[in-house]
Amino acid sequence: MKSVEAITSLAETFRVLGDPTRIRIAFALSREELCVCDIANLLGVSQSAVSHSLRTLRQMKLVRFRKEGKIAYYALDDDHIAELLEVGFGHVEEKR
């Protein structure tokens, strides 16, 4: 059995990914590194909404960023997040 800490951490990760906007952001970042304005344009939501979601994803260490001048570029923190999304989408698309 996994530790209570590991189970709690995974449950929190799933809770954070339970928001459709955050899933869309994570999926976009699984394809390429993007800045806030690019993500907002791609998703058709405000930069403020994207920034708020990215803050939550960063706090859970699901995304990371690097600065280039004044612009921050975001990417998934590691390949495990992309794999989690891929497996999740495979599961729900199989059920259709």
Determine whether domain 4-94 maps to CATH 3.40.50.720.
no
Q: Would you say the pTM of this structure is higher than 0.85?
A: yes
pLDDT tens digit string along 5-60? 999 999 999 999 999 999 999 999 999 999 999 999 999 999 999 999 999 999 99
> Where do the structural domains in the chain lie, given as residue ranges?
4-94
Helix (H) or strand (E) holding 75: strand 71-76
For residue 9, CA distances in Å to 6, 58, 96 come to 5, 14, 30
Residue type at position 76: L
CA distance 96 to 92: 7
